[in-house]
Chain A
Amino acid sequence: MAREFASKGVEFVFLYTREAHPGENYPSHRSFEQKLAHARAFKAEFKVERPILVDDLVGTAHKLYGSLPNMTYLISRGGRVLFRADWTDPPTIEYAINYVLNSRARRREGLRLAPFYAELVGYRWNDPGKFQERLARAGRQAVDDFARAMEKRIRQPLRPGRIELPE
């Protein structure tokens, strides 16, 4: 997707944050060298071609954008937030980018476009098996911590902004 949109003026970058699910193989960072080493391992393991920016050890950049483990922002040329999501979901990202590119194209065709504010509840395909595989690669501790956190969350209401889609 990054390659497809690069020719259309959208650059994809990745910001390496703290370990969301630290485990025996990838423990929480205690030095910047360690964080760089994890980022290198991440690049190799998942064949990431996008530029990887490594945040500092106290998460300065991560905190500015909301501190979530796997969020995405689309920022316009010039530096305004056009779209954001508290979870990274490729089809939703594609949808958002195409919306922006199409809006530009319509304006170029001479349509008068007035900006307005919009929000969206997202629905993503969730593959628990794959997620558990990722946790297992971090280590046994990551698997156990996640299971404990889920037990706790089941007793809590859905997070704000998340609703089941009525049939």
Chain B
Amino acid sequence: MDEETEIEIYNYSEFVGSEEFMTFRTHLPVGSPAPDFQATLLETGLPVNLSEYWKKNDVLIEFGSFT
């Protein structure tokens, strides 16, 4: 899949429902190692790894968007 298609599929332009509610229960159960990832810290524009936070502290991470 080329990147443009991947971007358009992930960022759907019409909400039709969240199918992922059906698969969440088996996706990453409690006790699992938390997957690390790199994202952009909005305040600085710099890349940051989630693991940098859990090295020192427990981390509560909420996922969401404006809409």
CB atoms of B42 and A74 under 8 A apart: no
Quick check: is A105 within 8 A (CB to CB) of the other chain? no
In this complex, which of A28, A76, A86 has the most chain B Cβ atoms within 10 angstroms of its Cβ? Answer: A28
CB atoms of A18 and B12 under 8 A apart: yes
Residues of A within 8 A of B3 (CB): 58
Q: Which residues of A80-131 have CB atoms within 8 Å of chain B's CB atoms?
A: 80-84, 86, 88, 93, 97, 100, 117-119
Contact partner of A152 among B7, B17, B42, B54, CB < 8 A? B17
Quick check: is A166 within 8 A (CB to CB) of the other chain? no
Contact partner of A134 among B33, B60, B67, CB < 8 A? B67
CB atoms of A13 and B51 under 8 A apart: no
Contact partner of A18 among B11, B25, B33, CB < 8 A? B11
CB atoms of B7 and A58 under 8 A apart: yes
Interface size on A, residues (CB 8 A): 89
Q: How far is the CA of A70 from the CA of B66 in the complex (A)?
A: 11
- What residues make up the interface of A, taking CB atoms closer than 8 Å to B? 2, 5, 9-23, 26-30, 32, 36, 38-43, 45, 50-84, 86, 88, 93, 97, 100, 117-119, 134-135, 137-138, 141-142, 145-146, 148-149, 152-153, 159-161
- Report 20 cross-chain contacts, Cβ distance below 8 Å, ordered by A residue: A14-B64, A15-B61, A15-B62, A17-B63, A20-B65, A22-B11, A26-B67, A30-B7, A42-B66, A52-B41, A55-B37, A58-B6, A67-B18, A72-B60, A72-B61, A75-B61, A82-B58, A119-B30, A146-B15, A152-B16
- What residues make up the interface of B, taking CB atoms closer than 8 Å to A? 3, 6-8, 10-18, 20-25, 27-37, 39-43, 45, 48, 50-51, 53-67
